[in-house]
Amino acid sequence: MNSLKTYNSFGVDVACHELLLIHEIHQLIDFLMHNESPFIILGGGSNVLFTQDFLGTVLVNRLSGIEVKHLDDERVLVTAGGGVLWDDLVSFCVSKSYHGIENLTAIPGTVGAAPMQNIGAYGVELAFCFHSLKALNLSTKGPEVFDKTQCEFGYRSSVFKTRLKNKYFITSVSLVLQKKASLNLTYTPVKEAIDSLGIKQPTLVDVKNIINDIRWSKLPKPSELGNAGSFFKNPVIDKAAFNALLMQYPNIPHYLVDEGVKIPAGWLIEQCGWKGKIIGNTGSHAKQSLVIVNYGQATGAEIIAHAQRVQSSVLERFNIKIEAEVNIY
Ligand code: FAD
Ligand code: NAP
């Protein structure tokens, strides 16, 4: 058995039968041709929770390379291998002054996993600059291209997390980025930080650095405390349900979105008294209760049990079912 402890950001100590690092697409095709055993795909392991040993093969995406195609005076098409670290791609683009993904700085994991849940942060999501992706169909073993519409991106969702889950291995992702300055400063804490630093004309590098600082002032680094970022998705409820809640909780934070009203799950969890609460080896983080933490030797089962306690109390108090964002195995 091969340990997966260093292959998941929760740091859960489980094992798998075989671990195969995919550096070239032909390795993946060879594996699919000759293997009958069960398998799962892994990027950086920063959005997974293993609850048991995996009695099959874990395919780790290490497909590398970044290519740039100049489209016109204003835009570039940047294509990165699925195994490139997402944050390395962000740093590369910022260093070249390509605008579009700087707000997504410091999100752990790989480029290939980014479309899975349409990664998002600080007012930007992958879909905003997404062009297309290439993926290997795991049944036909042939390559296919998906454009933005075919990816069915939604709030922390895509067709690869829903209808086509476990059906494709994403091998590369292409983004259209802007050569001229176009910054997204809609997220209040980012705007406030820029103002408080007295920056009159923020640059791409300013935005990246500021978001990096805000992020790590609040979030535990997986290298220091095991976690997978937000354990739950922010629930989106309909307006009638929201109005009923507002009567009871006039200060409830909320954001209008296309599908209804988004309530920060972290606030709901905090109201239920979980912020900073530790039970055994796990608990809800003291600075952001949406993050469940492994305080040392937690098992996946302990982490799941904690998540279920949190979910039940939010359901009981607010009649809102918060769903896991993390992929559970
Ligand atoms: P993994 O955890 O390895 O995999 C996640 C899922 O995708 C699994 O089901 C896996 O089978 C599947 N998968 C992975 N690669 C492929 C592929 N190539 N083809 C097909 N399926 C694949 N997320 C956000 O959206 N915004 C944030 O701001 C954010 N901040 C975070 C902060 C911290 C500290 C942490 C730990 C996590 C954070 N996350 C955030 C979650 C996580 O970083 C992202 O979801 C990231 O995209 C996961 O990438 P990964 O390579 O680690 O995926
Ligand atoms: P925060 O600023 O404390 O805000 C709490 C929640 O309110 C966020 O989840 C955010 O929703 C929502 N929100 C705040 N301002 C908003 C606005 N102007 N418009 C719409 N929604 C708004 O959040 P945080 O925990 O420090 O995280 C900061 C950002 O990083 C967020 O975008 C968050 O999604 C992202 N993040 C994600 C993960 C993950 O694992 N998925 C982990 C850490 C951070 P949104 O989540 O929709 O933005």
282-311: pLDDT as tens digits: 999 999 999 999 999 999 999 999 999 999
Given this model, what pLDDT does residue 53 score?
A: 97
Given this model, what pLDDT does residue 81 score?
A: 98
How far is 186 from 181, CA to CA, in rounded Å? 15
Share of the chain above pLDDT 90, in %: 97
Given this model, what pLDDT does residue 36 score?
A: 87
Task: Confirm whether 75 is a catalytic residue.
Answer: no
Residue 327 pLDDT exceeds 90: yes
Residue nearest to atom 32 of ligand 1 (CA): 229
Single pTM value for the model: 0.97
Task: Confirm whether 317 is a catalytic residue.
Answer: no
Pocket of ligand 2 (CB under 6 A): 120-122, 186-189, 218-219, 229-230, 234, 255, 264, 266, 288, 325
Given this model, what pLDDT does residue 182 score?
A: 85
Residue 177 pLDDT exceeds 90: yes
Residue 65 pLDDT exceeds 90: yes
Query: Mean pLDDT over residues 163-192, rounded?
Result: 95
Q: How far is CA 313 from the centre of its chain?
A: 25
Is residue 81 lining ligand 1, measured as CB closer than 6 Å? no
Query: Mean pLDDT over residues 20-43, rounded?
Result: 96
User: Per-residue pLDDT tens for 197-222?
Assistant: 999 999 999 999 999 999 999 999 99
Task: Confirm whether 158 is a catalytic residue.
Answer: no
Mutate to test the pocket of ligand 2, among 255, 256, 269 (most ligand atoms within 8 A of CB): 255
Q: How far is CA 292 from the centre of its chain?
A: 15
Q: Please name the residues in contact with 240: beta carbons below 8 A apart, sequence gap of 6 or more.
A: none
Residue 146 pLDDT exceeds 90: yes
Mutate to test the pocket of ligand 1, among 107, 167, 294 (most ligand atoms within 8 A of CB): 107
Torsion from C-alpha of 235, 238, 240, 244, nearest 10 degrees: 0
Q: Which two tokens stand for residue 76?
A: 């570039």
Residue 181 pLDDT exceeds 90: no
Residue 260 pLDDT exceeds 90: yes
Residue 259 pLDDT exceeds 90: no
Return the closest-CA partner of residue 231 out of 13, 105, 48, 41.
48
Is residue 169 lining ligand 1, measured as CB closer than 6 Å? yes
Given this model, what pLDDT does residue 258 score?
A: 85
Given this model, what pLDDT does residue 267 score?
A: 97
Mean pLDDT across the chain: 96
Residue 191 C-alpha to ligand 2 middle, in angstroms?
14
User: Per-residue pLDDT tens for 96-118?
Assistant: 999 999 999 999 999 999 999 99
Residue 261 pLDDT exceeds 90: yes
Annotated catalytic residue, options 102, 125, 302, 325:
325
The burial of 217, by beta-carbon neighbours within 10 Å (0-12 exposed, 13-18 middle, 19 or more buried), is given as exposed
Residue 108 C-alpha to ligand 1 middle, in angstroms?
7
Give the residue ranges of DSSP H helices in 11-132. Answer: 25-34, 86-95
Residue 133 pLDDT exceeds 90: yes
Atom of ligand 1 nearest to the CA of 119: 25
Residue 121 C-alpha to ligand 2 middle, in angstroms?
6
Is residue 226 lining ligand 1, measured as CB closer than 6 Å? no
Residue 228 C-alpha to ligand 2 middle, in angstroms?
15
How far is 256 from 245, CA to CA, in rounded Å? 15
Given this model, what pLDDT does residue 43 score?
A: 98
